[in-house]
Chains A and B, each alone.
Chain A
């Protein structure tokens, strides 16, 4: 009898014990694995999961003394937020700038990839690619420094050249309407060389017979680029743009804060959700409302990521591939 029950227990241990016990048993057997995984798991808990509990401050009248136990005010922060005139500006700027960035960087990356693909000289190709890739590694603070060197009123290169020609200096920092385009230009400068790498990788895989057949039929190089290379890129362009659209609610704080900083006269066209929150944190004001901004952004961003991933999945399934992110 006793032997019989023993065997039975051993046969299905997981069902006769509680989940916690199974887990402990599991951990005991794989302790060295847990040791390997622990630092990573704990760091993710520290900086990704623990802050998730902190979203309660979006529903509180936050004060630094009481922290998370501040008085609960329900949706007041959200109401204040949606009543304030700033929210429209933030959303417009975030979406508008991201839209500009997506269109411009995609266009330039594809164009440069197509052009590089037609280059026969390996040396030229390699040098050109290395040079174009270089800006990718520059930190945004360096970019900001150089931009200042270019457009500064007194010493900027542009004004220095203008005065050498004997013309009137221009003040770029007084013209907010110019800045979306300046930011886009910086994005093109920094992102084209890295962006075209993926398109080049796709172009290398295009069957060379297609080009040969086309040239026998009398297609020139321009036509082959237009009717063979470009269509080969369309699927990956669509996929990458969809993935970018998934992130459209997240402003590029790394770039915009580094470049614009605290120049309040430029905020009307360049202030995005993320930079607004960052400044609020720095000036120690309105934590509750900033948290509400951040939470709204996260929810919208989450929906967008899921939506774009769903579209990517549908699109790639139709082509018999699987490119979705998750």
Chain B
């Protein structure tokens, strides 16, 4: 660029880079505080609070977290739910999307309409809650965390669009050669659709991993809770303790609060898997978001 050296352009650059850097720091700051707090000694935290710089480094919190039965079990539950849920939803959604992509099938528009209706009208949480628990019996078991989220109409349509855009000749010749539809889907269509499967699968995995709604709604007395629900419980407990103390008019004493570094360590190990894979899969997420807004 010619005018790169001009004064106004340089000024623009300074303002621009400063603004973006500040916003990026704003985005990072909570992660930083979380990380620092999780590696700080609990007594120091009680004394000084969650300072943005480490005062007394200690990995004690992580030792506790990994020893703790509840968090360990929660981790296993969350991992299982994320993996089983993602695989299950990819199988269910791609099967349906494949059927909808077949031009020879007259029913495909009816199916599309059937999937579309729930996108624009839902009867509300209350009937969903009662039917899911009492009619389908999804209460206090692991499937309650998986099945209700498995079909996402939006992603079914994304998959359908992708399958429809594949060269039809390959599928047709296989069909004429006598291949069953399942064979065509699993041997031809899905291998050709790896990018879109990665996108959909990653979005589903993150949704399962972060979901607390199903855990709160459908697990009452289950001995296991996913990580997200454990964290929600920790926050709620802390809030409740605070409120109770305020009501009694007692001066709030920090040392009665549950361990501060363990809470942050739990949060860190919860976002850990996402941060670890994030650099490698970011482009799929970007693709998924642009898919969402621009049609075609």
Does A197 lie within 8 Å of B286, measured CB to CB? yes
Distance in angstroms between the alpha carbons of A280 and B286 in the assembled complex:
38
Q: Which residues of A contact B263 (CB under 8 A)?
A: 145, 149
Tell whether, in the assembled complex, residue B127 and residue A222 are in contact, meaning their CB atoms are under 8 Å apart: no
Give A26's nearest chain B residue, CB to CB: B107
Query: Chain A nearest CB: distance from B203 CB in Å?
Result: 10
Which of A4-12, A41-49, A84-92, A94-102 is near enough to bind chain B? A41-49
In the docked arrangement, what's the CA distance between A32 and B99, Å? Answer: 10
Please state if A48 and B118 are interface contacts (CB–CB under 8 Å): yes
Nearest-neighbour CB distance to chain B for A183, whole angstroms, equals 15
A33 touches B105 (CB 8 A): yes
Q: Let me know if B124 and A254 touch, CB within 8 A.
A: no
Knowing A39-B92, A262-B239, A326-B116, the reply to whether A149 touches B37 (Cβ < 8 A) is: yes
Which residues of the partner chain B approach A157 to less than 8 Å between Cβ atoms? 33, 49-52
Query: Would you call B20 and A128 a contact (CB within 8 A)?
Result: yes
Does A132 lie within 8 Å of B27, measured CB to CB? yes
B24-80 CB contacts (< 8 Å) to partner A? 24, 26-28, 30-31, 33-34, 37, 45-46, 48-52
Interface residues of A in 3-38 (CB under 8 A from B): 26, 30, 32-33, 35-38
CB-contacts of B219-275 with A (<8 A): 228-229, 231-232, 234-236, 238-240, 242-243, 252, 254, 257, 260, 263-264, 267, 270-271, 274-275
Q: Are A258 and B232 CB-contacts (below 8 A) given A37-B99, A112-B23, A281-B129?
A: yes
Q: Which of B138-159 contact A (CB under 8 A)?
A: 147-148, 150-151, 153, 156
A163 lies within 8 A of chain B by Cβ: yes
Which of the residues B96, B120, B135, B232 comes within 8 Å of A50, measured between beta carbons?
A: B135
Contacts of B34 in A (CB 8 A): 145-146, 149
Complex Cα distance, B126 from A297, in Å, reads 12
20 more A-B residue pairs beyond the given contacts A50-B135, A173-B239, with a C-beta to C-beta distance below 8 A: A37-B111, A43-B147, A51-B124, A112-B23, A133-B285, A138-B271, A141-B235, A148-B239, A149-B37, A150-B33, A189-B26, A193-B27, A198-B293, A215-B3, A220-B3, A220-B8, A258-B212, A258-B232, A282-B216, A291-B127
Chain B residues close to A by CB (< 8 Å): 1-3, 8-9, 12, 16-17, 19-21, 23-24, 26-28, 30-31, 33-34, 37, 45-46, 48-52, 91-93, 95-96, 98-99, 102, 105, 107, 111, 114-132, 134-136, 147-148, 150-151, 153, 156, 180-182, 185, 206, 209-213, 216-217, 228-229, 231-232, 234-236, 238-240, 242-243, 252, 254, 257, 260, 263-264, 267, 270-271, 274-275, 278-279, 282, 285-286, 289-290, 292-295
